[in-house]
């Protein structure tokens, strides 16, 4: 199966009725001239995975080392931490090669991203938690991969781990020796590799899969766009002013993050305009409703609408609608609340303007928006049990019954 071309996979999917005609008719056309590699090739990112990480994950599963590795990882947190003991030699060797920044990483831009994210944290948190978190459930491949993996059976813990990735990337010390992101990214890369080894053994997952294994470079890029490009668009829509230098710093942090996740340089956009062009081909046309995605969305919203967090269900639903749009919200069966919609459509832009110093008037909904941010943050920080991040661990199986 590992040698199947994308064309053969799509042909098989078409024969089984698993691939839409839209997918069949739209061949990959994004050129690497728009990537940081700057070459002139057209290679389908959905046919590229991460062989080095996948081989390590396969060995960890085969020799039963994952519980010991998860234990060893508890002490491996900061970027300058030595690789922990208690891991197989082949894993230590692999991490020794990848647990570092690429040669093209720009320290000045990464430092600028830390300062930028400190300023933008509230906006990014809203865009990524209520926006991207729910938007991901209408990305069919991602929704099915998440649902049938072990994380899909405990979405509160899974969402908290995803939050840890974003929290560490947007930290004011993300790239410093005492920051966490380089370690977090390498752990996440191996989680992806482990899932790639596990999900093809699931009959439930493979019944609707149009790939030999999930989480290709293309799938990771698609998630990048649903988070970073989506946030970039939202900041512009909300009137948050970013200089050219700040936009470059934001993109560069994500470029390095994608590299650390195993995405090849030929696919990593070189500019925001290149990113927009890539997203226009690989994200927005491919969004659709699935049974798995709808289930995940309802589960996630059920956590956020927990009365103990003090969040009104109608407000949460309408905030999601405001962020992702009515079409996708309707696919997921989200209810409407006209009073909350009016408050959000008027109040959120005023909230942003007030926080940005563009308006001296504090909006009526200011404290409601702040309360929402605090409530959702506590839900995701360590699974809602304490104000710390949730450790990222490797799975040993798929969703029960998969």
Look at the chain and report how many structural domains it folds into: 1
pLDDT class for 364, splitting at 50, 70, 90? low
67 domain-assigned? no
* pLDDT at site 134: 94
**Please, are residues 160 and 198 in contact by the beta-carbon 8 Å criterion?**
no
140 domain-assigned? yes
CA dihedral 93, 260, 33, 55 (to 10 degrees): 50
* pLDDT at site 357: 74
Work out the average pLDDT over 136-149: 97
Work out the average pLDDT over 29-35: 94
pLDDT class for 121, splitting at 50, 70, 90? confident
* pLDDT at site 361: 64
297 domain-assigned? yes
Per-residue exposure over 317-344, b if at least 16 CB sit within 10 Å of its own CB, e if not: bbbbbbbbeeebbebbebeebeebbebb
H, E, C per residue of 98-165? HCCCCCCCCHHHHHHHHHHHHHHHHHHHHHHHHHHHHHHHHCHHHHHHHHHEHHHHCHHHHHHHHHHH
**Please, are residues 396 and 197 in contact by the beta-carbon 8 Å criterion?**
no
36 domain-assigned? no
Work out the average pLDDT over 88-108: 98
Q: What angle do CA 351, 353, 359 make, to 5 degrees?
A: 110
Work out the average pLDDT over 251-266: 98
Tell me: pLDDT of 153 over 60. Answer: yes
Tell me: pLDDT of 3 over 60. Answer: no
Query: Which of the pair, 252 or 306, is modelled with greater confidence?
Result: 252
Question: What are the two backbone dihedrals, phi and then psi, of residue 199, each rounded to the nearest 5 degrees?
Answer: -65, -35
40 domain-assigned? no
Domain coverage including residue 181: 100-390
**Please, are residues 38 and 265 in contact by the beta-carbon 8 Å criterion?**
no
How far apart CA 361 and CA 363 sit, in angstroms, is: 6
9 domain-assigned? no
How far apart CA 110 and CA 250 sit, in angstroms, is: 8
* pLDDT at site 2: 39
How far apart CA 6 and CA 11 sit, in angstroms, is: 8
Other Cβ atoms closer than 10 A to 163: 23
* pLDDT at site 227: 97
Tell me: pLDDT of 137 over 50. Answer: yes
308 domain-assigned? yes
Average pLDDT, rounded, for the chain = 88
363 domain-assigned? yes
Stated pTM of the model: 0.90
How far apart CA 114 and CA 175 sit, in angstroms, is: 8
User: What's the alpha-carbon Rg for the chain, to the nearest Å?
Assistant: 21
């Amino acid at each position: 199966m590992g040698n199947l071309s994308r064309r053969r996979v799509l042909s098989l999917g078409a024969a089984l009725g698993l691939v839409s005609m839209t997918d069949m008719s739209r061949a990959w056309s994004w050129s690497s001239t728009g990537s940081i590699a700057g070459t002139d090739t057209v290679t389908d990112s959905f046919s590229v995975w991460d062989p080095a990480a996948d081989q390590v994950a396969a060995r960890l599963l085969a020799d039963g080392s994952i519980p010991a590795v998860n234990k060893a990882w508890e002490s491996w947190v900061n970027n300058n931490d030595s690789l922990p003991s208690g891991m197989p030699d082949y894993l230590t060797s692999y991490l020794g090669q990848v647990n570092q920044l690429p040669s093209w990483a720009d320290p000045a831009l990464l430092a600028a991203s830390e300062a930028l994210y400190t300023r933008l944290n509230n906006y990014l948190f809203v865009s990524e938690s209520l926006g991207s978190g729910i938007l991901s459930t209408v990305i069919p491949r991602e929704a099915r991969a998440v649902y049938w993996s072990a994380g899909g059976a405990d979405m509160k813990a899974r969402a908290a781990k995803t939050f840890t990735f974003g929290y560490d990337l947007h930290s004011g010390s993300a790239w410093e020796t005492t920051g966490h992101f380089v370690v977090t990214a390498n752990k996440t890369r191996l989680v992806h590799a482990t899932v790639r080894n596990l999900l093809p053994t699931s009959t439930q997952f493979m019944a609707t899969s149009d790939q030999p294994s999930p989480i290709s470079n293309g799938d990771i890029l698609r998630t990048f766009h649903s988070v970073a490009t989506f946030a970039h668009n939202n900041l512009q829509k909300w009137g948050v002013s970013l200089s050219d230098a700040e936009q470059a710093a934001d993109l560069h942090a994500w470029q390095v993050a994608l590299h650390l996740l195993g995405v090849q340089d030929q696919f990593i956009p070189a500019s925001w305009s290149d990113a927009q062009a890539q997203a226009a081909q690989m994200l927005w046309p491919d969004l659709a409703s699935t049974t798995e995605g709808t289930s995940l969305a309802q589960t996630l919203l059920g956590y956020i609408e927990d009365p103990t967090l003090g969040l009104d269900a109608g407000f949460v639903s309408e905030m999601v609608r405001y962020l992702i749009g009515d079409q996708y919200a309707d696919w997921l069966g989200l209810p409407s609340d006209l009073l909350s919609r009016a408050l959000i459509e008027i109040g959120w832009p005023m909230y942003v303007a007030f926080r940005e110093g563009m308006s001296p008037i504090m909006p009526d909904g200011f404290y409601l928006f702040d309360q929402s941010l605090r409530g959702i943050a506590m839900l995701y920080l360590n699974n809602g049990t304490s104000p710390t991040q949730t450790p990222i661990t490797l799975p040993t199986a798929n969703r029960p019954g998969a």
